[in-house]
Amino acid sequence: MWLLNSSIGKKLIMSISGIVLVLFLTFHAAMNVAAVFSEEAYNMICALLGANWYAVAATVVLAGIVAIHFLYALLLTFQNMKARGSDSYAVNTRQKNVTWASKNMFVLGVIVVGFMLLHFAQFWYKMMFAELLGNHEVTLGASQVSPQDGAAFINYYFSQLWVVIAYLIWYVALWFHLTHGIWSSIQTMGLSNNIWIKRWKVIGNIYATLLMAAFAFVTIFFYLKNLCGGSCC
């Protein structure tokens, strides 16, 4: 099977799974922004995405895509290290036009996955997973809340400074990853040429920036809101 055996096939798997994950991030960002305007609306989405069969099925598919993206990154990186050989250059330079992110995609990916685990422990484990176990109450700090009360979760976690800082670092790593990832995936699909490569790069940068700005905005918004006890916004 060429998709699994050839170098271009394997890269196509990286490219398509990456784009799907970008689309998921877009949905996730839109959902988060809703929380700023109305916590009820956000909780409605949370209830919709609780332990319903379609949400669980989508989560399984999503987890599969993340796993594929990560495993193929491992495989390709390993092959590339082998192809590079054991002797390294004494003098190394980064050429103009070569972005830092493009040379550190794997490291950035590992950072992103690391924070993802933190995120799952804080949210998913106590929300969808708790519901799957049949729990209708979970402990959040000192209080007991419903696993569908997403707004309580954001208010609780984003009132803590270390969580906010950790998430902001996560967004920065993801931003670097996406600034290379978006245009690179389109190049791998072959949908690029001398003119479009510049356009895809600009589109990729704008998209990554808007996406991460949306995530960062929600995070900071809830930190500030809880800082002043909800009286200022």
Partner 1 sequence: MDKNINITVKVWRQKGPQSKGAFESYQLKEISQGSSFLEMLDILNEQLVNEGKEPVVFDHDCREGICGMCSLYIDGHPHGPDTEITTCQLHMRKFDDGATITIEPWRSAGFPVIRDLMVDRYAFDKIMQAGGFVSVNTGGIPDANAIPIPKKDADLAMDAAACIGCGACVAACKNGSAMLFVSAKVSQLALLPQGKIEAARRAKAMVSKMDELGFGNCTNTRACEAECPKAVSISNIARLNREFIKAKLKD
Q: Does 4 bind partner 1 (CB under 8 A)?
A: no
Which secondary structure element, helix H or strand E, spans residue 121, and what is its range?
Answer: helix 105-122
Asked if residue 74 binds partner 1 (CB under 8 A), the reply is: no
Other Cβ atoms less than 10 A from the Cβ of 15: the count is: 22
The reply on whether position 71 binds partner 1 by CB under 8 A is no
Determine contact, residues 47/148, Cβ cutoff 8 Å. Answer: yes
The torsion angles phi and psi of 146, rounded to 5 degrees, stand at -75, 140
Nearest to 42 by CA among 218, 226, 208, 161: 218
Rounded distance between C-alpha atoms, residue 148 and residue 50, angstroms: 7
For partner 1, give the closer residue by CB, 7 or 52.
Answer: 7
**Least distance in Å: CB of 101 to partner 1?**
9
Q: Is 102 in the site for partner 1 (CB under 8 A)?
A: yes
Compare residues 194 and 231 and give the one whose CB is closer to partner 1: 194
Q: Closer to partner 1 by CB, 42 or 176: give it.
A: 176
Q: Does 177 bind partner 1 (CB under 8 A)?
A: no
CA distance 99 to 116: 24
> What are the structure tokens assigned to 213, written together?
């700005």
Residue with smaller CB distance to partner 1, 94 or 136: 94
Q: Could you tell me how many residues of this chain bind partner 1 (CB under 8 A)? A: 45
CA–CA gap between residue 106 and residue 80 (Å, rounded): 12
Q: Which stretch binds partner 1 (CB under 8 A): 134-142, 143-151, 180-188, 214-222?
A: 180-188
Does 202 bind partner 1 (CB under 8 A)? Our answer is no
List of residues contacting partner 1 (CB under 8 A)? 2-3, 5-12, 76, 79-80, 82-85, 87-99, 102-103, 105, 180, 183-184, 187-194, 197
